[in-house]
Amino acid sequence: MQYLGLLFTLALLAVNLWGLMLMAGGYWRNRWFALAAGPILAVTLLYAIECHHGLGRSLGGLGLFSTLVSAALIALSLSAWQPAGLSAPWSARLQAWRTEFALRGLLLPFGVATLVFLYAFSWRFIYPNIDGSSEKIADFSYICSYYSGATIPVPDAWFSPYLSTQYYSFQHYGAALMGRILLLPTGSSYNIAYSLLIALGGTAFAGTVFMIARGRFVRAAVVTCFVIGGTGISLLDHLTDKEVNPWTSMRYIGSAQMDKVVNIPGLPPLKFGPWLREYNYRFRVKEGDNDQFVMELPGEIYSYVAFLGDYHAPLSGYYLLGLCAMGMLLWHRTGLARYPAIAGATLTWTLLANTWVLPLQGLGIALWLAFNARDWRRLVPAVALGAAVVWLLAWVYLSAFTAAASGYDTAVRWVRPGEHTPPLLFILFFLPTIAFILLGFASGDRRARWLGVFWLLLLLFTEFFFVDDEYSGHFNRFNTTLKWWPWVMAGTLMTLAPFVLELSRRRWVRVLGFVFCLYPCAYAWDLGVNMWNGPKDDRGKIEGTTYLTRDEFPRLMLGRLKVEKPGIVIERPDEQGGFVNSAVIPLFAGQRMWLGWWGHELLWRENREDVRRRHEILMRFYAADPKNPPEAGMTAGKWLESQDIDYVLWYRADDKPEPWKIINQEVSPEYVWVDILTYQDEDGRKVGFWKRAPDAP
């Protein structure tokens, strides 16, 4: 019984996705492409509207309308009815639309989308908590900002009263929009939207593969490798590391322990791990007087992010990569400019959703245009028009975002000589990718050779260029490789591997192709062990709050704060700047915060000094020292009023009775105490909050 509501929500979501596919299919007449493109086209349209006028927090009416329209379109696609007096050309279009989107033809795209969604959702269903173990709470804050339904750019839910203009948060808007339409709690929206975005990325990837390859086994092998496969290290790490988890092969270069010695009876100990570690440390970088660091060069691929649960920007990168590739393929099949227009639109969508890979997305499209230079008169205008239309629709946010980003001084620069990847580790990490490129050259197929050149150029680009950001030293390339390397690996697998596995003229090339496609799937063991052995106490609680509500005080605070009027909240801060289970209860309750994770706000907001100062002020406020008030010359109550703060929370472990007495005196009469619970028979601890007095301004 407890999951009936969830099943109904998923059914509504499926009906609406089907309807969006049919709407998009009226113009882009390909079932795979329409299924992948429909959602982002609809989100972009509503995004454009809300850039000029916010539609409000609750969009249940729009959800009902969308569901009814979707149901009508589904019925129309499955029936033989047509309006009386329909002209012959329109009748032919209707019949062609019905043929392309007949139920039998939809089994494959629907089947793949459903399987990938269920796989991703199994992770979120079993481990639903939106906690501080990674970037989940930070990503959640953007979804909560958009949940307000205000005009874009929306107020920042983590840094009131400022607007949220500092991040490429288009996919977070999509998650909030889905939740507002389906009337979901914010946490449920996070987990369902996460699974949906994984499914859309898998669908776009599979659509590209299915357009290239015809063999079932080839299709299954390539898609399986993408969904659960690892890197070139994924099997090797069991020989080099004592403890292996899904994280190991993603952060192998610079972070892996490489401490395992393999003992085989009758043979000398195999010390490949320690030898590889020694090799890595030949490439040390110097930071000040310390020369014991090696470059941290991670790469978090699709299968890893599906496991991790962070609603982070790379999820959109895979989706847009597949959508762009399908647009290119359909141009070659149909010659219709509407498909390269979508490829061009992915440039602006990438800027909105995953800016980090914009150089790769742009370079990839530029190379494709160069390879098709004969058709430049048709292709270049179509690509430019697609990019321009999306930019025009989102220009309100893009104007604010690009202005905010201009202060970061980030730029694409040459990799310094001492910061390159150790050659052997580069080869091992990219072994399947490099193998597909070389096999493409040896395949005897002209298209595979060109794709080999294409992906080799992009792979070399990731090694010789990087985005120079806030990080430095041995972390200088951290963010770049984290996002660029998986993109190149996914693109090579998606476009080149099907040619190698199926269309190569040489049997040995096809055999080796299958080897390099299937052996990374050993990563499924690491994923499976983690899923099987992990704690499952919170299974099925997809709102993501159980880790908080397990304790009485946070549970009481969350329940009461949900029924209070929306306002601005402060709570006792942590010393750490992030990755802690704090600054989240107000988000789940639909409130905004004066300060969230201050370390992340520093990173997002150009290391602004006022962010540090806010943290220091909160530390002084909760220290409850009348001689050291939050603001000199001002009582705590007056200071709270000056910052337009509505609620001061008191529920955390360090919120003791003695400082409560001092704060209660200092904030009166401007703020009054709302008691939720006081322990009379123990230490007198309280849970509750101060709120503005009724007659306060």
Cα 190 vs. chain centroid, distance in angstroms?
A: 11
Q: Is residue 59 a part of any domain in this protein?
A: no
Q: How far is the C-alpha of 166 from the C-alpha of 603, rounded, in Å?
A: 10
Question: Can you read off the two tokens belonging to residue 77?
Answer: 């696609």
Spans of the chain below 50 pLDDT: none
pLDDT score at 1: 60
Q: Is residue 311 a part of any domain in this protein?
A: no
Closest to 29 in 3D by CA, of 91, 90, 101: 101
pLDDT score at 226: 98
Q: Is residue 44 a part of any domain in this protein?
A: no
Which residue segment(s) compose the domain that 606 sits in? 551-692
Which of 433-471 are b and which e, b meaning 16 or more Cβ less than 10 Å from the residue's Cβ? bbbbbbbbebbebeebbebbebbbebbebbbebbbbbeb
**Angle ∠(243,249,254) on CA atoms, nearest 5:** 90
Q: Is residue 263 a part of any domain in this protein?
A: no
Closest to 497 in 3D by CA, of 524, 526, 519: 519
Which of 274-304 are b and which e, b meaning 16 or more Cβ less than 10 Å from the residue's Cβ? bebbeebeebebeeeeeeeebbbbbbbbbbb
Secondary structure percentages of the chain, helix, strand, coil, to 5: 60, 5, 30
Contacts of 399 (CB under 8 A, 6+ apart): none
Q: How far is the C-alpha of 496 from the C-alpha of 672, rounded, in Å?
A: 66
Q: Is residue 128 a part of any domain in this protein?
A: no
pLDDT score at 180: 98
How many domains in the chain?
1
Q: Is residue 248 a part of any domain in this protein?
A: no
Contacts of 88 (CB under 8 A, 6+ apart): none
Q: How far is the C-alpha of 278 from the C-alpha of 243, rounded, in Å?
A: 19
Instruction: Quickly count: other Cβ atoms within 10 Å of residue 507's Cβ.
Output: 8
- Cα Rg of the chain, angstroms: 27
Can you point out the beta strands (E) in 526-627? 568-570, 592-593
Contact 443, 500 (CB under 8 A): yes
Q: How far is the C-alpha of 83 from the C-alpha of 553, rounded, in Å?
A: 62
pLDDT score at 286: 83
pLDDT score at 244: 94
Contacts of 37 (CB under 8 A, 6+ apart): 24, 28, 323, 342
Q: Is the bond leading into 268 cis (omega within 30 degrees of zero)?
A: no
Q: How far is the C-alpha of 164 from the C-alpha of 156, rounded, in Å?
A: 5
Can you point out the beta strands (E) in 519-644? 568-570, 592-593
- Considering only the C-alpha atoms of the chain, give the largest distance between any 2 of them, rounded to a whole number of Å: 86
Q: Is residue 415 a part of any domain in this protein?
A: no
Q: How far is CA 123 from CA 143, 156, 277, 496, 533, in A?
A: 20, 29, 33, 29, 13
Q: Is residue 213 a part of any domain in this protein?
A: no
Q: How far is the C-alpha of 170 from the C-alpha of 355, rounded, in Å?
A: 10
pLDDT score at 697: 56
Backbone angles phi, psi at 566, to 5 degrees: -60, 135
pLDDT score at 80: 87
Q: Convert the pLDDT of each residue in 119-171 to its tens digit.
A: 999 999 999 999 999 999 999 999 999 999 999 999 999 999 999 998 899 99
